[in-house]
Structure 1
């Protein structure tokens, strides 16, 4: 067979994902914090983009128009599209704004410092000017590390011991436990492990009692010794905390060598201790609260109003006057290309933010329409729901709905929920009716177990299956056991022991 070169024409179809489309997909699944960081990066990189700093201009109007009444007839879909249309005409002649992305609330950065510069105040500084920082420095809660370092300064240790103690204090977590092995600390500092143990004993004597313990047993032992209540019997109890967790009182009596009354007294003493001695102090860093992406409010006539949280949507401006000036002054091809790319990127970003907001509102409106019974009557009425059902209802792909519901939160009258909370698997009805959601079945199981008041009332997993089938839920025993373990509910044997235990 001879080899030869020839030209062929073939026709085919293929999907090409451009870099901009890839970035738009990433924007869709970003949380509000990730989106803010991305927008800040674009503002620094693109000179044509500006943050809209206008206070209140159009903001209240947008909030009044954004709510979408969700009804059984899907009447909200057309309203959602109309309310989120970009209103370019309202912007100034030289600027264009993204109409669906309200201004993000930008507050002043909180002062994280704890020291007061008296020399600056005494050399002409004004207390009125720094009044907020001064008050925050005085009223800020003390952290556990600061509390321990204050005691370390008054402990009278040698310089070497002070260094070791500082390393140990830095390794104490917010709960008050030491998260550093003594051997690792000795290797890191190049000293004997005996020195680490010696300094650790000093740190464990600091307030709060039980701090710098390496595990729960040591934490409780330190507290008992401080109360002069540590003896061999209670030491044996601390050595067998797993038996206490299982409520195996008979085995505890054997290993501790005590009777019922002594065991009850020891358990009462253990319960009076603090398993997390550092919990009373402020954390090193303030936890960032979750901000909802969507608000759901109850309206008149049994309707639910869905609106975007304007504080999580950045509002951007394209400065067209600046673009006209720099484009007119551009001389080289490189400069013209840079300005053109900046303009295209700015237009794309505002269009992507607009589309992102529309999609989030569209998906959340359908979720609320599907789960209106949950909002009205509670978790027992949570319906089975999957991504395909929502995608088919709004005419989108399942992957798009999945991206929208990732790291997004809905604030409802029943609390703050991640969007994925509303997607639950279906459990068939034993009577052939409408299926039950997995979350509502979990709630029923928890209600049945919470209703146990005596040893005779404890339900085994098989008994729970029978009760649920009588209520119209067709469920297997292994599924009941899986749900119970996921809720960290002990088995029926352990629950009987707990009910046997004297109060």
Structure 2
């Protein structure tokens, strides 16, 4: 066998993940806010890119008399990112005037979901002033409540130690040792600060927090003290045992429990809480005059850019050296790629959303009980895409429907087989049915998991008891034993 070096030719195929291809995949699975931010950065970096301010009328998709016919076979996002061919205009309903469809009475919005101040100053009224933080709220009360410098120092220490819920777990003796003062003085300052607004802050634990609020309402008595000393029993709903410990009857215990439920276990949690960001839908859906559905991409969040070819031609003529020409060529290629990627992203989103609406039409007509089982492969086969592409399209995307705004992932649920080979059922629909059955229970007909299984099987759902228990726990529904204990004591 010869060990001498030699030259061989081999032919093979491989997928090369170029930076542009990776960016195209990232754009496909990004939310509308993330895509808008990326486009804004590109507009700043690339002089050949400019905003497309033209109004392009949208194209309706998803009519019932023409039930979303599948578009001609198109490449998925991986192939489209490397392609130089733009889809035609008829294949992608991009923009539409939705001003008369979703009139919320709010401030006029610009692109990206931001208030459009160019249309007026109404947006200023919708901008709420930021609220005070918990420590700022406490500091104002400290300045008004304590004149003695030592007391103010102790109050400032409590202010620094308070957690977001309004608690302060440090013992008075330990804080007194740190500050070099008497423990009774620290206790007196804490007791005074516990009456601050909101009442119940600076307590060491939940029981003390509730006690302070009950004393403020003049509702603290020996029976209530015994109840607060046994909060773990209340959490486990051991109501009969609590009646014996507190020495009260069923009606009195029910009144005591109702009083505790009206208290705030975390009085400091409302300060500085950041409201959740508004969910801006990527796809808008409404009824068509003929009874079908109209689908369009949200024009307020759809970034639209153009390549300024005129500026590119003028700059290319004025280029003085090879480096400037190379820079212009690279910027032109990047701009063209971004326009193509956004176009393909829009086409793919609307195509996948239309197929989801077609398959889940009964949900939009009748509610969650009619949600059908659906997996990525079902949609991928219909729209001639890969499952991974459908997965990326549905990630971080939402649709505004007459029944509310939902993430596209919501409509993909596992299937539960039907009895006797019947039609399968959506897991989400079964969970909804379990919740409805429990809410309809009475005092004498609390359903066990076995009873729920029997009832569901009569309705054609072949489900196991452990599956019912898993769904019940996911819905945070107590067991039948706990529900019986709760219903035995009137609220």
Matched residue, 1:51: 51
**CA 452–259 in structure 1, closer or farther in 2 if over 3 Å, else same:** closer
Quick one: which of 82, 86, 90 aligns to 1:82? 90
Matched residue, 1:10: 10
| Inter-partner Cα distance in structure 1 for 2:156 and 2:258 | 39
**CA 131–86 in structure 1, closer or farther in 2 if over 3 Å, else same:** closer
1:227 aligns with 2:235: no
Superposed CA deviations along residues 56-84 of structure 1, whole A, max 9, x for unmatched, are: x42xx524x35442557433747997152
Matched residue, 1:167: 160
> RMSD of aligned C-alpha atoms?
3.4
Aligned residues: 452
Quick one: which of 468, 471, 476 aligns to 2:459? 471
Superposed CA deviations along residues 188-247 of structure 1, whole A, max 9, x for unmatched, are: xx8579798776555432111123546543331220122343345423322322322332
| Inter-partner Cα distance in structure 2 for 1:265 and 1:296 | 47
| Inter-partner Cα distance in structure 2 for 1:177 and 1:25 | 45
Task: Give me the TM-score of the superposition, normalised by structure 2.
Answer: 0.82
| Pairing 1:51-450 to 2, within 5 Å after superposition | 51-52=51-52, 54=53, 57-58=54-55, 61-63=56-58, 65-69=59-63, 73-75=67-69, 77=71, 82=90, 84=92, 104=112, 106-107=114-115, 140=129, 142-143=131-132, 145=134, 146-156=136-146, 158=149, 160-161=153-154, 163-168=156-161, 171-172=163-164, 176-178=165-167, 182=170, 201-213=191-203, 215-260=205-250, 262-278=252-268, 283-450=272-439
| Inter-partner Cα distance in structure 1 for 2:366 and 2:94 | 37
Whether the aligned pair in 2 keeps the contact of 1:164 and 1:199 (CA below 8 Å) is no
Superposed CA deviations along residues 158-205 of structure 1, whole A, max 9, x for unmatched, are: 364464355346x43xxx534x7649xx99xx8579798776555432
1:484 aligns with 2:486: no
| Inter-partner Cα distance in structure 2 for 1:30 and 1:132 | 28
Structure 1 window deviating more from structure 2 (419-428 vs 77-86): it is: 77-86
**CA 209–19 in structure 1, closer or farther in 2 if over 3 Å, else same:** same
Quote the offset at 1:406 in angstroms: 0.7
Superposed CA deviations along residues 407-434 of structure 1, whole A, max 9, x for unmatched, are: 1111111111111110011111103121
**CA 265–304 in structure 1, closer or farther in 2 if over 3 Å, else same:** closer
Matched residue, 2:83: none
Superposed CA deviations along residues 76-127 of structure 1, whole A, max 9, x for unmatched, are: 747997152799xxxxxxxxxxxxxx95455358xxxxxxxxxxxxxxxxxx
Structure 1 window deviating more from structure 2 (372-381 vs 333-342): it is: 333-342
Quote the offset at 1:263 in angstroms: 2.9
| Inter-partner Cα distance in structure 2 for 1:39 and 1:196 | 57
* Runs of at least 5 residues in structure 2 that lack an aligned partner in the other structure: 73-86, 96-109
Matched residue, 1:97: none
Matched residue, 2:489: 501
Matched residue, 2:23: 23
| Inter-partner Cα distance in structure 2 for 1:369 and 1:67 | 10
Task: Give me the TM-score of the superposition, normalised by structure 1.
Answer: 0.80
Whether the aligned pair in 1 keeps the contact of 2:399 and 2:407 (CA below 8 Å) is yes
**CA 40–452 in structure 1, closer or farther in 2 if over 3 Å, else same:** same
